[in-house]
Structures are given as structure tokens and as C-alpha cells.
Amino acid sequence: MTNSLIMLCITFFAGAALRVPVVLTMFGSGIVYLWASKQDVGLLVDQTLNNTMGMSAMLAVPMFILAANVMNAATISERLWSAANLLVGRLRGGHGHVTVLMNLAMSSMTGSAVSEASGPGMVAIKMMRSQGNYPGGLAVAVASGAALLGPIMPPSIPLVLYAVISGASVGTLFLAGIVPAFLMALSLSLLISFAAVRRNLPQAGEVAAKDRLRVVAGALIPMTLPVVLLGGIWSGMFTPTEAASVAALWAMLLGIVVYRNLNAKSLLAVFFESSRQSAVVMMLIISSFIINYAITNEGLAAGLASWIKAMELSPLQFMLLVNVLFLLLGTVLDGAVMLMVFVPVFLPSVHALGIDLVHFGVVCIINFMIAVITPPYGLILFVLSTLTKVPMREINREIWAFCVPLAVVMFILILFPQIVLFLPHMMGYK
């Protein structure tokens, strides 16, 4: 290991230990490496910017972020909560089941775990605590687990980023995420059912008969968005990148024309927040390319590929080894770091072993999403703790139970790739 790489690692882990934002930690580590190795920092950063911004798929990221923020501002979460309550609220632990179902519906519009947590997640936590008498830690844990459906159910920002890194088809990845998202939702609901009996959680309130038609009508309108998006992508009317723009426009039309709860002031606030979030994501991507350059320049990727080849692992053994490693790393690293830094390192081995890129990508994204709710570094936990004022110690006590069923689903998908690839194969993916 060269002195330059040692400097990169020291900077990275020092930033992580000091809770420096992930984006700044990665960018700073990359710049330190370039400086220590006496390379032209300006030229490499310029080339990285040009290569990154030239990728058309990158346009989808800010557009999906904008669509998610408009959805949250247009009070669509509350409408979907009422509809989900109508369907599953009468079950034992109904508020938890409603949270999962509402997030499953919203996940087909937002594509981001943070958007799911800060939007529908906050609505759900309020309902669970005020109506269901859920302890604060349990309510946040339920909302955190349900928020992970956002990056798996299409459209998904992490799947778009994985497509940029790997060259896999965005549309195929979107198809492959549907069945795993439903399995994750089912696993969370089963856990909530068990907890409801053990902790005597109540049913949610029943919707009056005279209000049921109004509740259904209020949810049907926003649910047209995933139909438009996914139907347009798979029919060839527009690309996944163009679909992101359609999603943002459709969300604004709902808020301005249909619900009439978005005005110039609220839209301006949404644009500012979306710009800030997009800048963070873009900076993360750019900094990850610099770190990936360092890994490639030091020969680590080639060395790892040779080491794995020498082990003569089968594709299944490789998948199990990599995902166990990712689960362990997820306790100390953010999911975004693992996606942008570690996935490119393993891609040569994925190609060499003949593992399907789509299968590998979906499983890895689920793994990285488990990381964002895993103490002590779970990003979603910090977001919701800050927003709800629930202490982290209460959340950490509850969240481990929700990591288990999600990990079980992930390992089932590793063992049976056809579950992930069923829909893509049915639509003609080879």
C-alpha cells in the first residue's frame, strides 16, 4: 500500500469518526490522494466532471428528487395514509401495516429512502404515536424499515446510480425491483403482526362508510403517476431518464391544478431544497469517481479480482461472501459510500463469474439500504431522530428487529435469482 493510499484511508476514516458529512469526507479523501501522489488535481477533477455530466442517466437524479419533494409538499402522503388505513387498518397493529402499505405506494413515486422517511415517514410516525400509542423508538423503527421500499420499487435513484456505474439497463433494473419490494413489504408486515401480538398493539381507526368513496378517490389520482411512468418506460414512449422529467411535471400538475395546495412560494421552497439535495448527490458521485480512480490506479481492483479468481469461488459463494462483507461494512459505512466506492471494485469479478448485472445490482441495493438503518451510522435513523426528537438510544433498541427480515429477504434473492429476474425475463430481457 502506497503512502498516497494510506493518506486517503486516514482522511476517510477520520472524517467518518468525526461525523463529517459523507459527501465532504469522500471528496476530501480523493483530493488528499491526488495531492499526496503529486497528480494534477485540476485536470483529473475536470475530466471527472466532464465524464460524469455527459451521462444522460444522471439527469434522472435531480428530476426524481424534485418529483419526490413536490409529492411531499402536495400532501399526497396524507391521502395515501387514509387509503391504506381503509385497506389494512383493521388488522392488529394496524398503524404499522398502514405505514408499510403507504410507503409501498409512495415508493413508486419518490425513489429515495430519505424522501420516504422525511415525507410519508413523518406522517406515519405522527399517526402511530398519537393514535396507536406506539413508543417513539418503535414508531421510528417501523417508518425507517418501510422507507427502504423507496429505493427498491421503481423509479429508484440508487438503481439509476448503479446503472451509471455498471452499464446495466435502467429500465431492466426498474422491472427487477418490483418483486423484491413486495417481498420486503411482506416481511415487514409479518414482523409487525408478531410485534402486535407480543406488545398488544391496537388496530387503526376504521374509516366511516360515508367517507370511503372520498378516501379512495383521493388516492386514485396520485396513483396514476406510477402507471404513467412505468407504462411509458416499458411501452417505449420515453426513456427512464425522460420519465424522471415526466414525474416532476406530473407531480407539479397534481399539486397546482388538482389539489391546489402548491403556490409560487411553496414551489420556490421545493426548488431550493431539490437543488440542494441534487448538488449533494452529484458531488457524491463526482467524489466517488475520484476515489475509484485511486483504487484503480493503485491496482486494488485488479488485485481483488485476481484474489477472488484464485479462490475459485462459485457465483453463489461469491454473492454470499460479498453480501456478508457489505452487511458488516454497513454497520460503519453509509450505503451511498458502499454503492459508489465498493461496487466498481467487485464488478470485474461479477463479469468474470458470469453473474447477472441486474441480479447483482438489486441485491446490493437492498444490502446498502439495510446499511442506512443499521446503527451506529444509519443515515435514516439520524434523519428521523432529528425530525421527531426521539433519542437514538430508543431507536437503536428497536431497529435491529427490522434489519433481520430484510436481510432474510436479501439472502432468499441471492439463493433464487429467478425471483429478481422473473419480470425482466417476461418482458424480453436476456
Condensed to tens digits (0 to 9), the pLDDT of residues 336-365 reads: 777 877 888 888 889 888 999 999 999 999
Q: Which residues of 200-227 are buried (b: 16+ CB within 10 A; e: fewer)?
A: ebebbeebeeeeeeebeebbeebeebbe
Most confident range, picked from 9-13, 96-100, 180-184, 335-339:
180-184
Task: Report how far residue 3's alpha carbon sits from residue 397's, in angstroms, rounded to the nearest whole number.
Answer: 41
Is residue 326 within 8 A of residue 338, CB to CB? The reply is yes
User: Using CB atoms within 10 A of its CB, is residue 239 exposed (0-12), middle (13-18) or buried (19+)?
Assistant: middle
Residue 58 pLDDT level (bands cut at 50, 70, 90): low
pLDDT value of residue 407: 94
DSSP-derived 3-state class of residue 409: helix
Mean pLDDT of the chain: 82
| 149 and 104 Cβ atoms separated by less than 8 Å | yes
Q: How confident is the model at residue 319, as a pLDDT?
A: 94
Q: CA 221 to CA 79: how far, in whole Å?
A: 10
Distance CA 326, CA 399 (A): 18
Start-end of H helices in 200-314:
212-220, 224-235, 240-253, 264-297, 300-311
Residue in the block written with cell 410519508: 120
Give the pLDDT score at 53: 57
Q: Which residue has the cell 397534481?
A: 254
CB 362 within 8 Å of CB 410:
no
Q: DSSP labels for 10-79?
A: HHHHHHHHTT--HHHHHHHHHHHHHHHTT--HHHHHHHHHHHHHT-GGGGHHHHHHHHHHHHHHTTHHHH
Mean pLDDT lowest among 42-46, 277-281, 386-390, 409-413: 42-46
Q: Report the predicted TM-score, pTM, of the whole model to 2 decimal places.
A: 0.80
Q: Distance of alpha carbon 238 from its chain centroid, rounded?
A: 23
